[in-house]
């Protein structure tokens, strides 16, 4: 029973991250925000788990805030996750990236089940300590406030007390942030923020006075430390790491992540501000330019299953590196193909199979007659749009405000996916019956509304590698790296690291390379040169 609870907690944790993804691109309001939280009963298991503590140490000028991992068999009792940051730099060893030396400050990360990485910071004078998620997908710093009276979550986390700090300055501007896993609201304050031995002065941050829902109640962290660009900062607040650069606390406007995905080790990883640690990667980084400031967004090339191209991103796709997201998310169409290839079992969609039985042969005939793929579904009167949009969310119908409130129906979505799937099989010269059977199999593998897909733990050896082309180089993930295993022996459960997320144009299609990817590849965020770099993690 206890092991089951541990596994359910992991599911609720990664589902929560998936839900947050679905709302990454919704509007963030500064003064007023509605809250829409889909709390899973699975998260209730969290209430029976104890919180992990963060350790801090200084060694040879390096300042580390402990990120520790907990073994799966410890889930019944306790858990954790973390990150590290910063330093003076050298340009040795033929590397383009700055390297940390003995003057560099580092924040170590804690790791909770490879799903949450958090570390410790201080706010105020003397510093009041908080554990935070270091999140490249948002830009604000927030922690619970001592004035949070009516949210149960605040009772279980550290709270900032302005009256206890000699460097506190009142601001008072209202603020609110909506995440997929929940919403927080409160007001801005200003104070010093400490990371290891570094002290960032006069930093604006949010005191959260409301944290509704079960998500933040069960979270292992107190708040979130945003590492995105100021362009997506609520209230246009200057991000902490901007001020680290502006105040001359770090030599280079660079930070880098190393996540330790070895479940047998306590160390969770490091976030390094000011450079990179050469002990954390092998070879050289592949750098790609940031294409849109806000998230750390860049252009990604092809997606491969085994050694075969899916063709989905042959003309390029947008992607972001997101340390605050546990899994790897992409468009439903291709994620379904990936999960099919690795034998992941999602929730069967009868609507999808109905679409195939009614229109499958027609789609094949139209593609063979060289009809425009993007217009096939509208020509069959299944879609209002004529191919100017990509696949919308299959999970829930959405209203596009830019299209006069017309609802993009699920049958249209299934049709658009079927066209892509059929097209790939036609290119392989498959027979009509083979194509229909293949598409029906993909329908069986469609993920559930929350994105869960399970795999057989004893099948890892037969699963293909999944690879992504970035900057002309191929970055692969082995089954051991993209499958998350919970428990041991007969009670072990394995979860696919791929989850579906459909972001419509112009921002999408969009891939979110979360901790599953960043755990395999050491990631450098270079603000000075506006680029992101990836190298094999050591």
Residues with a catalytic annotation lie at 135, 322
- Cβ atoms of 298 and 307 within 8 Å: the answer is no
Q: Which two tokens stand for residue 75?
A: 């889930």
Taking the CA atoms of 290, 292, 296 and 302 in sequence, report the sign of the dihedral they define: negative
Separation between Cα atoms, residue 174 and residue 207, nearest integer Å: 10
Taking the CA atoms of 183, 257, 292 and 242 in sequence, report the sign of the dihedral they define: positive
Which residue in this structure is represented by tokens 């004893």? 458
Q: Which of 390, 388, 393 is nearest to 410 (CA)?
A: 393
Question: Which residues share a beta bridge with 184?
Answer: 177
* 386 contacts: CB under 8 Å, gap ≥ 6: 374, 375, 378
Q: Which two tokens stand for residue 183?
A: 């919403």
CA within 13 Å, CB half, 187: 11
DSSP assignment of 230-265: GGG-GGGPPPHHHHHHHTT-SSSSEEEEEE---TT-
Q: Which of 442, 439, 447, 444 is nearest to 358 (CA)?
A: 439
What is each CA distance from 417 to 20, 191, 412, 436, 499, in whole angstroms? 24, 50, 9, 13, 16
**Three-state DSSP class for residue 43:** helix
* 235 contacts: CB under 8 Å, gap ≥ 6: 30, 140, 173, 175, 188, 204
Separation between Cα atoms, residue 236 and residue 242, nearest integer Å: 12
Q: Which of 121, 110, 99, 252 is nearest to 192 (CA)?
A: 121
Taking the CA atoms of 444, 448, 449 and 451 in sequence, report the sign of the dihedral they define: negative
Under the phi-then-psi rule, with left for phi > 0, alpha for psi from -120 to 50, and beta for the rest, what region is 60?
Answer: left
């Amino acid at each position: 029973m206890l092991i089951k609870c541990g596994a359910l907690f992991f599911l609720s944790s990664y589902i929560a991250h998936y839900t947050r993804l679905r709302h990454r691109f919704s509007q963030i309001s500064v003064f007023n925000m509605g809250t829409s939280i889909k709390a899973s009963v699975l998260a209730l298991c969290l209430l029976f788990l104890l919180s992990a503590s963060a350790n801090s140490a200084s060694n040879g000028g390096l300042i580390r805030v402990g990120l520790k991992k907990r073994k799966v068999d410890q889930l019944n009792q306790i858990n954790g996750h973390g990150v590290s940051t910063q330093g003076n730099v050298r340009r040795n060893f033929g590397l383009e990236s700055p390297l940390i030396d003995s003057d560099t400050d580092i924040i170590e990360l804690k790791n909770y089940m490879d799903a949450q990485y958090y570390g410790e910071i201080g706010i105020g004078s003397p510093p009041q300590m908080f554990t935070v998620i270091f999140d490249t997908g948002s830009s604000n710093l927030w922690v619970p406030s001592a004035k949070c009276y009516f949210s149960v979550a605040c009772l279980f986390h550290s709270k900032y007390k302005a009256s206890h700090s000699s460097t506190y300055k009142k601001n008072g501007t209202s603020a609110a942030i909506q995440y997929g896993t929940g919403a927080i609201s409160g007001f801005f304050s200003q104070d010093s923020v400490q990371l290891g031995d570094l002290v960032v002065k006069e930093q604006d941050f949010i005191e959260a006075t409301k944290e509704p829902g079960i998500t933040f109640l069960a979270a292992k962290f107190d708040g979130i430390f945003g590492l995105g660009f100021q362009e997506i900062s609520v209230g246009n607040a200057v991000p902490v790491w901007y001020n680290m650069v502006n105040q001359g606390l770090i030599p280079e406007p660079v930070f880098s992540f190393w996540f330790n995905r070895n479940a047998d080790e306590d160390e969770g990883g490091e976030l390094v501000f000011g450079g990179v640690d050469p002990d954390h990667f092998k070879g050289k980084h592949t750098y790609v330019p940031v294409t849109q400031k806000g998230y750390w967004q860049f252009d990604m090339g092809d997606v491969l299953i085994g050694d075969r191209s899916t063709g989905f991103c042959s003309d390029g796709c947008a992607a972001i590196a997101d340390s605050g997201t546990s899994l790897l998310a992409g468009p439903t169409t291709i994620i379904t193909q990936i999960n099919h290839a690795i034998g992941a079992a999602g929730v069967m969609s009868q609507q999808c199979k109905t679409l195939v039985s009614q229109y499958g042969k027609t789609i094949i005939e139209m593609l063979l007659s060289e009809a425009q793929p993007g217009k096939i579904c509208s020509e069959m009167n299944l879609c209002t749009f004529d191919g100017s949009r990509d696949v919308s969310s299959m999970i829930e119908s959405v209203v596009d405000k830019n299209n006069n409130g017309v609802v993009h129906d699920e049958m249209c979505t299934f049709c658009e996916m079927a066209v892509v799937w059929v097209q790939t099989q036609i290119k392989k010269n498959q027979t009509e019956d083979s194509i229909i059977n293949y598409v029906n199999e993909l329908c069986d593998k469609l993920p559930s509304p929350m994105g869960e897909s399970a795999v057989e733990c004893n099948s890892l050896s037969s699963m293909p590698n999944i690879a992504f082309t970035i900057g002309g180089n191929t970055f692969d993930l082995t089954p051991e790296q993209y499958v998350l295993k919970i428990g041991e022996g007969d009670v072990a459960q394995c979860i696919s690291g791929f989850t579906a997320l459909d972001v419509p144009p112009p921002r999408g299609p969009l891939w979110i390379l979360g901790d599953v990817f960043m755990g395999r590849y050491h990631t450098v965020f270079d603000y000075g040169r506006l680029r992101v770099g990836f190298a094999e993690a050591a």
